[in-house]
């Protein structure tokens, strides 16, 4: 074998290894060592080569085996995302207003608030504020149904969970949090996209795309009823 053929074989091996990283053929060719100005054309030719196709399929299979990835595992993760409780991450709560649980539905303070208000009154040489409603305000109590101030509707409270203590299901849908001019914004995985992936995988749509199954053949699917989908997901719950 000539030196050029050996070099070409090495480049082809590198192309396969680079290609399965992100499945970007042109970039894989460049990273493997092909010239950037001809990388796209070269990659197109490589992907038509049966030896390359077989090597890619083999590498993907090895990676799946190494990582223990199979169709059911992926499907189950999508199902967990689709059925996760987003309230674990963020909630809009209705809690009591200051008059809900005060004595005779008068304004209610916390002890520290009242102490501070009295101190400010002393500095301003004004009368102490009244505390007829009491000093036991709890911001997390539910609204009082007969409150004359809020009519039992309470006030809005936005709650964001401690993301270091999420359940495994909630961790799957949590993508991060960012500060905006309107406050904190929690970003999550798209539930409808997850449901769409589950439905397509289980053959609920007619416009199905064939995926590689056992022995390189397509996965055989049939249109499933909602009851059949639920039954299949129960089976996966038992497996995992």
Distance of alpha carbon 174 from alpha carbon 39, whole angstroms = 37
Pairing of strands 90-95, 155-160: antiparallel
- At residue 221, the pLDDT reads 43
Q: How many CB atoms lie within 10 A of CB 90?
A: 15
Residue 68 carries which DSSP code? T
10-residue stretch averages of pLDDT, the chain, 240 residues long: 47 86 87 88 88 86 72 81 91 96 96 96 93 95 97 95 90 90 88 83 59 44 50 57
- At residue 228, the pLDDT reads 57
- At residue 20, the pLDDT reads 84
DSSP alpha helix (H) spans, the chain: 3-22, 25-32, 39-48, 50-67, 71-83, 111-123, 168-173, 191-201, 226-239
Burial call 9-25: b when 16+ CB within 10 Å, e when fewer? eebbebbbebbbeeeeb
Give me the percent of the chain exceeding a pLDDT of 90.
35
3-state secondary structure of 177: strand
Mind listing the pLDDT tens digit for each residue in 225-234?
A: 545 555 655 5
Nearest to 232 by CA among 82, 69, 75: 75
| Level-2 CATH architecture, domain 3-67 | Orthogonal Bundle (1.10)
Which sequence spans correspond to the domains of the chain?
A: 3-67, 71-83+190-239, 92-155
Burial call 221-235: b when 16+ CB within 10 Å, e when fewer? beeeeeeebeebbee
3-state secondary structure of 104: helix
Nearest to 172 by CA among 50, 57, 83: 83
Question: Element (H or E) spanning 90, and its range?
Answer: strand 90-95
Distance of alpha carbon 46 from alpha carbon 56, whole angstroms = 11
């Amino acid at each position: 074998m000539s030196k050029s053929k050996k070099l070409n074989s090495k480049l082809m091996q590198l192309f396969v290894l680079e290609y399965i990283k992100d499945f970007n053929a042109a970039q894989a060719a460049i990273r493997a060592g092909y010239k950037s100005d001809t990388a796209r054309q070269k990659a197109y030719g490589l992907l038509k080569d049966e030896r390359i196709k077989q090597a890619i399929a083999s590498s993907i299979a090895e990676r799946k085996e190494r990582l223990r990835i199979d169709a059911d595992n992926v499907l189950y993760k999508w199902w967990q995302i689709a059925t996760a409780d987003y309230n674990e991450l963020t909630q809009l709560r209705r809690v009591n207003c200051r008059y809900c649980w005060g004595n005779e539905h008068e304004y209610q303070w916390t002890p520290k608030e009242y102490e501070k208000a009295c101190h400010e009154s002393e500095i301003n040489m004004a009368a102490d504020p009244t505390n007829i409603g009491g000093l036991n305000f709890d911001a997390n109590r539910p609204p009082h149904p007969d409150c004359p101030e809020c009519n039992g509707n309470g006030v809005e409270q936005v709650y964001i969970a401690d993301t270091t203590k999420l359940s495994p299901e909630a961790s799957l849908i949590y993508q991060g949090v960012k500060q905006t001019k309107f406050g904190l914004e929690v970003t999550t995985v798209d539930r409808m996209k997850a449901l769409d992936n589950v439905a397509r995988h289980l053959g609920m749509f007619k416009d199905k795309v064939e995926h590689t199954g056992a022995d390189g053949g397509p996965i055989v699917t049939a249109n499933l009823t909602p009851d059949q989908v639920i039954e299949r997901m129960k089976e996966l719950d038992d497996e995992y």
